[in-house]
Chain A
Amino acid sequence: QKEVEQDPGPLSVPEGAIVSLNCTYSNSAFQYFMWYRQYSRKGPELLMYTYSSGNKEDGRFTAQVDKSSKYISLFIRDSQPSDSATYLCAIFGFNKFYFGSGTKLNVKP
């Protein structure tokens, strides 16, 4: 079983939609969770960083961790065409980073 699983998409939504991106993970000991955004041919950019459970909000982005079900989510409100990118979830544990496969998001104008 992989440490973290992510639906690869692609996900296509109209501008202004609420986007929900999700990952599941395998080890309940994991405590540090991240979401990265990666534009084509660029390195990933850290969007959200969360420790343990709960929600964290930053502008139009909300990261949510549900440790009981080992599920992490990223919500994007009022999505914009500039949000079109691949989104990677990541977990830090045992001195390593584990990445999801990435979900490709396309926001249509």
Chain B
Amino acid sequence: GAVVSQHPSWVICKSGTSVKIECRSLDFQATTMFWYRQFPKQSLMLMATSNEGSKATYEQGVEKDKFLINHASLTLSTLTVTSAHPEDSSFYICSATSTVQNTEAFFGQGTRLTVV
């Protein structure tokens, strides 16, 4: 299957700082990238959907000014958690669909964010 690379796989940061997470499609062009948050023993919670070159669409309850998403190219999307707080600690996962077939989603490895 197609490969999506997410970096970093884990990060620890201090309260008040910002953290950037990268999501890259390595062997395909991604029309759409999705950002999820996953709490322990729970399913994926969609945060936002981003299409290359346009503004991300955020789900209800997700603060767009706190979770900045940039999808500057067909192979890269970034999520920046701004002014992070301990309650932002979570597992963040991106997924991508290709320009060829947008009904299959491929996931990155996930990023475990811990805010201290």
Contact = CB atoms under 8 A, between A and B. Distances in A.
Interface string A71-109: 000000000000000001010100011011110100000
Nearest to B34: A97
B103 A102 contact: no
Contacts of B54: none
B67 interface: no
Contact of A41 (B103, B108, B112): B112
Given A36-B107, A49-B104, A97-B105, A43 B93 contact: yes
A46 B104 contact: yes
Q: Size band of the B side of the interface?
A: 20 to 34
Contact of B105 (A41, A51, A90, A100): A90
A76 B25 CA distance: 29
Contact of A88 (B44, B49, B112): B44
Contacts of B41: 104
Interface majority SS on A: helix, strand, loop or mixed? strand
B104 A41 contact: no
B42 A32 contact: no
Interface residues of A, number: 21
B108 A43 contact: yes
A53 B109 CA distance: 30
B43 A88 contact: yes
Contacts of A44: 44, 93, 95, 107
Given A88-B44, A101-B42, A101-B43, A34 B109 contact: no
16 contacts: A34-B104, A36-B107, A41-B91, A41-B112, A42-B109, A42-B110, A43-B93, A43-B95, A44-B93, A46-B104, A46-B107, A88-B44, A97-B95, A97-B105, A100-B43, A102-B43
